[in-house]
Amino acid sequence: MRIRTTDVPLRLNTPAALRRWSLRCHAAGMSVGLVPTMGALHAGHLSLVERALEECDRVVVSIFVNPTQFAPGEDLDRYPRTLEQDLALLATAGAHAAFLPAAGDMFPPEFATAVRVGDGLSDRLEGASRPGHFNGVALVVAKLLVAARPDRAYFGQKDAQQCALVRRLAADLDTGVEIVVCPTVRDSDGLALSSRNAYLTAEERVRARAIPAGLAAAAACFESGERDAAVLTATVRDVLEAAGAAIDYVAVVDPEHFKEVETPGPGCEILVAARMGNTRLIDVLQLG
Ligand code: PAF
């Protein structure tokens, strides 16, 4: 398939158009990579696009602020929307297509299907703090995988529980899609890039450094031999509290099932969700 530079990224507006594009790519013998996003793209998203371009012949980036993953009272209405800037970034990055559906194209009035991942993955930690959130994520990711029929789909490690959930969903539904989890991209002071960082005031942005600093302090404790999860989480809590963060949770989990572990080994993950002012941020560090 020939794509003219003026069409880059090709704009696909409906699930049917995305499906047709993907089928044409596959018919031409090309592999397809999908990078699901909610837009307000930053270097973290672009690292996913870059990895997808290395591994796939054609790359589509979806930009859709999915209403079903926001609970009432969350930031759906004020979530940053920067479509033209996003498309310019994708053109520069070399993405081949952008999937830009309207909410009504994804969820028309007669829409009646639910997707839910069990095994506690939807309910623990992030799921407990944001009831219903992961059902919305599972639903939209299932729809994206069905429409885009990618060979690989790319997600950022910062949303660690989302990654575990999507891996489970892709396996359980026999999608055959390889879920690729890419490392978190951080600012120079360690703060994980997030579209929600835009909400922080300058003063909160400085205090938010406590999140990666707390995780790094716990990782250092682990490296020096500490194996008690309670000590590791207390280390993070102390740093966050000193910075005036309102802690939602700090936990050490096994990365597959997201069950809390008391005596972590290498590969376990330490997670944080905390508010700086009105902005809720999450982060994760792998131990070992
Ligand atoms: O991580 C995100 O940006 C969203 O949860 C996702 C995977 C694009 C689904 O809306």
The model's pLDDT over 246-271, given as tens digits with 9 standing for 90+, comes to: 999 999 999 988 999 999 999 999 99
Which residue out of 48, 139, 140 has the highest number of ligand 1 atoms within 8 Å of its CB and is therefore the one to mutate?
Answer: 140
- Residue 42 annotated among the catalytic residues of the structure: no
Tell how far the Cα of 138 is from the centroid of ligand 1, in angstroms: 9
Give the Cα separation of 227 and 90 in Å (integer). Answer: 43
Question: CATH 3.40.50.620 residue ranges in the chain?
Answer: 10-182
Question: CATH 3.30.1300.10 residue ranges in the chain?
Answer: 195-283
Contact 213, 239 (CB under 8 A): yes
Give the Cα separation of 129 and 132 in Å (integer). Answer: 9
Q: Residue 8: its pLDDT value, please?
A: 79
**Residue for token digits 């007669």?**
110
Q: Residue 1: its pLDDT value, please?
A: 44
Give the Cα separation of 178 and 44 in Å (integer). Answer: 20
- CATH number for the domain whose boundaries are 195-283: 3.30.1300.10
Q: Residue 39: CB within 6 Å of ligand 1?
A: no
Tell how far the Cα of 209 is from the centroid of ligand 1, in angstroms: 24
Reply yes or no on whether the pLDDT at 3 is more than 70: no
Rounded average pLDDT over 60-65: 98
Give the Cα separation of 284 and 263 in Å (integer). Answer: 17
Q: Residue 7: its pLDDT value, please?
A: 62
Give the mean pLDDT of the chain. 96
Sheet with 246-253, strands from edge to edge, namely 246-253, 269-276, 279-286
Q: Residue 50: CB within 6 Å of ligand 1?
A: no
Q: Residue 220: its pLDDT value, please?
A: 98
Residue of the CA atom closest to atom 3 of ligand 1 = 37
Give the Cα separation of 217 and 107 in Å (integer). Answer: 44
Atom of ligand 1 nearest to the CA of 65: 10
- CATH number for the domain whose boundaries are 10-182: 3.40.50.620
Identify the helix (H) or strand (E) that includes residue 264: none
Rounded average pLDDT over 217-227: 98
Atom of ligand 1 nearest to the CA of 156: 1
The Cα diameter of the chain in Å comes to 57
Reply yes or no on whether the pLDDT at 221 is more than 50: yes
Reply yes or no on whether the pLDDT at 4 is more than 80: no
Encode pLDDT of 17-45 as tens digits.
999 999 999 999 999 999 999 999 999 99
Atom of ligand 1 nearest to the CA of 137: 9
Compute the residue count for the chain. 288
Give the 3-state secondary structure of 96-136. Answer: CEEECCCHHHHCCCCCCCCCCCCCCCCCCCHHHHCCCHHHH
Give the Cα separation of 211 and 246 in Å (integer). Answer: 11
Choose among 157, 28, 32: nearest CA to 96.
Answer: 32
Q: Residue 5: its pLDDT value, please?
A: 46
Q: Residue 145: CB within 6 Å of ligand 1?
A: no
Residue of the CA atom closest to atom 2 of ligand 1 = 37
Rounded average pLDDT over 101-128: 97
Instruction: Say which of 26, 42, 45, 96 is annotated catalytic.
Output: 45
| The model's pTM | 0.96
Encode pLDDT of 189-207 as tens digits.
999 999 999 999 999 999 9
Atom of ligand 1 nearest to the CA of 195: 3
Give the Cα separation of 196 and 211 in Å (integer). Answer: 14
CB neighbour class for 102 (10 Å; exposed up to 12, middle 13-18, buried from 19)? exposed
Contact 161, 273 (CB under 8 A): no
Reply yes or no on whether the pLDDT at 113 is more than 90: yes
3-state helix, strand, coil in the chain (%, to 5): 40, 20, 40
Reply yes or no on whether the pLDDT at 288 is more than 70: yes
Reply yes or no on whether the pLDDT at 6 is more than 60: no
